[in-house]
Structure 1
């Protein structure tokens, strides 16, 4: 497996527990929007502790960007990432990932599961091809939403927020279940992109398939 040591150019928090990292881009290193790579920290004892993170930048940009949820109670890679900043080094590996744009459709994300879709949305917007896609994005509370202002700007009325632990005026305070999908989606013959925790992806996928979505048009991380 090829590896590349890259320096962190900039890092900053974009929510209370999600940190954005802009890092050097190795020469000839490329990805398809929606894809990811395994990342580790270039610190003794941490070089082999890899975790998968998705690229969120446009592929033509001269840097790479990751938006990483920091789990402060796990004593692991993300907690360590929470404490490192510009000048520190990361180790990147090969690019992988099944999530990529196949055609207009509905994107359903939970929490940090939005990250594969960010690069896709930015790329489609740049090509003036984002219209006709819808995002349903669920989080515990409004404070957990990643890039809310940008998603509103890009998707406008095709952006539905769902909060599971907060009732905010004007927004839906419930879970994405079978009834929610029926109420908010009129066409199950289009593409569906689902990303989030494993249980979330499994439940949403099961509901979509029961509602007539085919396995060919259901795109999830394998």
Structure 2
């Protein structure tokens, strides 16, 4: 796998406690929407292949853009502390791309994405790319968070949904009693009834699930209860985010 050296060009908070890190894209770096990289933050006395120096992240930007963006919750771990301490212009390394959570090629079949929390990142790349290309393929994103404050990239997703009839956003919050923001959308867990209501007009949808392991496992059970064939479900678990 190829290793590239990249520079940190910007950072911004995309949700409460969640930060997006922007890096320049190396010449010749080609990836598919939905793929990931390993980010290596060199540290004195720490091996580059250790969990303190290396972490896997989905790429949140699309291939047509001249930057690579990853996003993560800033938890108190050795890696996150090193990542958060980077100054603009600092050099790090990336390896990749890799991963198979990419959109199917049969555009007659709809795509339904189910994301929990920071599991949104691979779908940001896929939807961003579809919007840029003006793809007519029906894409629906079910995005679940505890509160609006926790929902990374929510405003951007809402804008894409308003402007692109082929893309539908179904956002739901599960702990609005802990939120200080107004929310006029759904406020319930993702269950079989919700899934059935979302897909009732879609043509032979294929499902993609991304989020923490417990959420991904729960969604597999929910989709099975909703009558979805397991062969039509693809998933990716986000550990340690």
Q: Give TM-score scaled by structure 2 length.
A: 0.83
**How many equivalent residue pairs?**
220
> Where does 1:190-209 land on structure 2 (aligned, <5 Å)?
190-209=205-224
1:95 to 88, 97, 100: 97
Whole-Å separation in 2 of the counterparts to 1:38 and 1:140: 28
- 2:61: which partner in 1? 57
Whole-Å separation in 1 of the counterparts to 2:216 and 2:223: 10
Whole-Å separation in 1 of the counterparts to 2:194 and 2:183: 18
Whole-Å separation in 2 of the counterparts to 1:12 and 1:153: 19
Q: Give TM-score scaled by structure 1 length.
A: 0.89
Is 1:18 the counterpart of 2:18? The answer is: yes
How many Å apart are 1:22 and its aligned residue?
Answer: 1.5
How many Å apart are 1:57 and its aligned residue?
Answer: 1.4
- 2:156: which partner in 1? 150
**Aligned CA distance change for structure 1 residues 136 and 151 (closer, same or farther; 3 Å):** same
Is 1:109 the counterpart of 2:115? The answer is: yes
How many Å apart are 1:91 and its aligned residue?
Answer: 1.4
Whole-Å separation in 2 of the counterparts to 1:128 and 1:15: 27
How many Å apart are 1:130 and its aligned residue?
Answer: 5.6
Range with greater deviation from structure 2 (195-204 or 208-217):
208-217
How many Å apart are 1:85 and its aligned residue?
Answer: 3.0
> Where does 1:135-214 land on structure 2 (aligned, <5 Å)?
135-156=141-162, 158-166=168-176, 168-186=182-200, 187=202, 189-214=204-229
For structure 1, which runs of at least 5 residues remain unmatched after alignment?
none
Deviations 1:37-77 (A, max 9, x none): 11120232453321111111121222211122211x3x231
